[in-house]
Structure 1
Amino acid sequence: MRSEAKVALVTGANKGIGYEIAAGLGALGYRVGVGARSAESRDAAVAKLVAAGVDAFGVPLDVTSDESVTAAASSLERLDVLVNNAGITGGMPQQPTLVDLDTIRAAVETNVLGVVRVTNAFLPLLRASAAPRIVNMSSTVGSLTRQSEGEQGPISAAYAPSKSFLNAVTLQYAKELRDTNILVNAGCPGFCATDLNGFRGYRTPAQGAAIAIHLATLPDNGPTGGFFDDEGVVPW
């Protein structure tokens, strides 16, 4: 690895918002690890990023697998930024009276436990960084405040609660790491057109990536334990 370049790892970076986060950080001079399960799509994303001038490399990574995450962490020598972007909706239906419990389990396994699994595995590398940042990609549908004030997205007993859970975990990491130089925040990309929602979103993946790039490059006196979108603070 080039010692002078900061290193970032983005999970689920083979497409959509994750790819744009990798591209954005790469354009700022970061060496970017493209974390993804599929070797074919991972290699294609790396090739596209490299063609665009990004110093990118592939990281085989299934956030639901202890073995995969452990191997990924062992493959890196340095890490300055971790963006936990990989996520799933969990499938339909998601009305609480109809949802299958396995749908909820799947959403929590990837969107919450996957974040904990990856973060803990890479923490030793982050602790060695001069300016480590952890960004958890959440959603405003996970805001209990906004949900209670009115409709915030469709009725969801798996995806939205998993993002509320992720927000709570983000806050706990920030509390535990408050006496370190690691800044931990959650970011909402907005309703972006990706395969996660059948490309129904009104924002582009590049627009959605902006908040992650901002939080990944916060100054040393930046916030920690917050939830943000492009407009500022999002209530928990």
Structure 2
Amino acid sequence: MPEQPGTPCGGPTSACAAVSRRGFLAASAAAGAGAATLATQAVASSAAGDAAAQPAAPGATTVQMTVNGAGRSLTLDPCVTLLDALRDQLDLTGSKKGCDHGQCGACTVLVNGRRINSCLTLAVMHEGDSITTIEGLGTPEALHPMQAAFVRHDGFQCGFCTPGQICSSVAMLQEIRQGVPSHATADLMQVRFSDAEVRERMAGNLCRCAAYPNIVAAIRDAAGART
């Protein structure tokens, strides 16, 4: 049968015969650019709408706590850990997210004076609690005695674990003063400071730079037990 006018690309009388290869490519490029522009505008419009229409996540709750001596009110998802709340909502980034499994101690903070791994506890569990992070222990102008001891004894190298080490050290000395025994305590009725006690009690705070001898020396210094 003879080719009918307007049929696609069948011969010299087809509609495609009138379109050059260059013209076809130019038209295709223009169509693609137009589609991409429309898609970008749609995404941007959707994102702007989402940002304006998200006052709080569904199920969010408000928690009142004292952080470094100041009352704070946080509205957050019940699944947010204390570590993430401190870092992401309060910008207290001294507490580090090391393993996020409670195995390295880099996230150690003090809750009502006791040390905990903040990555293993939910922020909503600390309604009314007093939280102390490394930022609340001292300042560059007025270091906490433990911070000053770590500086004197080079108790850090990369420094990533240091905030957790210092917070843990402060609480650990308080445990010894209160007579709380450890696995290294020989006489449960006479809990005394010793390097062995320090090493045992600080076993949950890992230092990948292996500055352990200097850390023990710094804690001994801060405890007033220089030997």
> For the superposition of Structure 1 and Structure 2, which TM-score range results when normalised by the shorter chain?
under 0.3
Bigger RCO of structures 1 and 2 (CA < 8 A, at least 6 apart)? 1
Larger radius of gyration: 2
TM-score by length of 2: 0.24
